[in-house]
Amino acid sequence: MMVVAVVALARSRNLFAVVVLAGAYSFLMATVLVALDAVDVAMTEAAVGAGISTVLFLGALYLCRSEEAKPAHRPLIPFALAVSTGALLVYGSLGLPDFSDPQAPIHTHVAPRYLNDGPQETGVPNVVTAVLASYRGFDTFGETTVVFTAGVGVIVLLRRRRKDKNKES
Amino acid sequence: MSALASHFSYAVTIFLLVAGLFIIIARGNLIKKMVGLSIFQTSVFLLYIVPGKLVGGTAPIVAPGFQVYSNPLPHVLILTAIVVGVATLALGLALAVRVHEAYGTIEEDEILERDAAS
């Protein structure tokens, strides 16, 4: 279903349909994440990916034209480039550990310590929250800085235009 | 055959990544490019989350009666990545709106034409 959504998305030229499909795609991704036991990530993806992103896209569409122009030439070079990248990645993925292999390096290094000692050290049973807010609090602080910077950038970009309009009128 | 089954998740990830990459390169519309970028991003989320899954495990919320948990570390990283992703998305869309103000279009070809004309 996700594959169908993505293919329809790439082919559709009506940008409104594209945005709605992208929202549906985000919800599908959220359900996949639930199936992969990543409940916190799924909740964020549903709220941010399907909610805020869609609102942002619709806002941008409101300010721009919502119809995409027909491409002037057939996209053969991008297609070849994308396919060759995919082939390279498939070749690379053959060296990766099997799905759900308990002996994979990802399960043997840092994670067991968090899972064993985290609840006692922080008093939070949800290990994701414990790591995010307690062990790696500085990362979360940096993340807030990124969001703040982006917000400042958006305001600077869109405020200039209002001033110009005032000058014109 | 077993290699196909055990690496199916990687195949899905790679397909989404390639689709996102194709949309970014092939489409001239700036908003469409941003959609492609967010698809590319979700494929990276999958790339991180999938290895953390253990069959028979539960979500990493420690409770009595459960022994096997999925790896919490990629979840934390991807939570950060989602939020940073929406920040870049907002900035990119603001830039697209600004380009629309300046050029009256968000098609790459028409923008380049106009630059060549002036």
Closest-CA residue of chain A to B22: A82
Contact assessment for residue A128 and residue B72, using Cβ atoms and an 8 Å cutoff: yes
- Structure confidence at residue B1 as a pLDDT band (50, 70, 90): very low
pLDDT in tens, chain A (169 residues): 556 666 666 666 677 788 888 888 888 888 888 888 888 888 888 888 888 888 888 888 888 776 666 666 677 787 888 888 888 888 887 777 777 677 777 777 777 777 777 777 777 777 777 777 777 778 888 888 988 998 898 888 888 666 655 554 4
Q: Does B66 touch chain A if contact means CB atoms closer than 8 Å?
A: no
- Residues A98, A127: Cα–Cα separation, whole Å: 25
Cα dist. A15→A46, A62, B32 in Å? Answer: 21, 11, 7
Q: Of the segments A140-144, A156-160, B56-60, B63-67, which one has the largest average pLDDT value?
A: A140-144
Q: CA triplet B37, B38, B44: central angle to 5 degrees?
A: 95
Residue B93 with chain A: CB contacts under 8 Å: 56-57, 59-60
- Listed by number, the residues of chain A in 16-35 with a beta carbon closer than 8 Å to a beta carbon of chain B are 18-19, 22, 25-26, 29, 32-33
- For A89, the enclosing helix (H) or strand (E) is helix A76-93
- CB contact set of A36 (below 8 Å; sequence gap of 6+): B49, B50, B52, B53, B70
Q: Is A158 exposed, middle or buried (0-12, 13-18, 19+ CB in 10 A)?
A: middle
B31-50 pLDDT, tens digit per residue, is 888 888 888 988 898 888 88
Closest-CA residue of chain B to A4: B16
End-to-end CA distance of chain B: 59
A95-118 pLDDT, tens digit per residue, is 777 776 777 777 777 777 777 777
Q: Does B95 touch chain A if contact means CB atoms closer than 8 Å?
A: yes
B26 by DSSP, 3-state: which?
helix
The ipTM estimated for the assembled molecules is 0.80
Question: What is residue A68's DSSP assignment?
Answer: P
Q: Is A119 exposed, middle or buried (0-12, 13-18, 19+ CB in 10 A)?
A: middle
Nearest to B21 among A53, A71, A85 (CB): A85
At A168 the pLDDT is: 47
- Listed by number, the residues of chain A in 30-69 with a beta carbon closer than 8 Å to a beta carbon of chain B are 32-33, 36-41, 44-45, 48-49, 52-53, 56-57, 59-61, 63-65, 68-69
Domain B2-117 has CATH 1.10.287.3510: yes
- Residues A57, B37: Cα–Cα separation, whole Å: 13
Tokens of B50: 């999938």
What are the sequence ranges of the domains in chain B? 2-117
Candidates A82, A67, A66; CA nearest to B26 is A82
* pLDDT (average), residues B62-89: 82
CB contact under 8 A, A6 and B19: yes
- Residues B57, B66: Cα–Cα separation, whole Å: 8
Give the length of chain A: 169
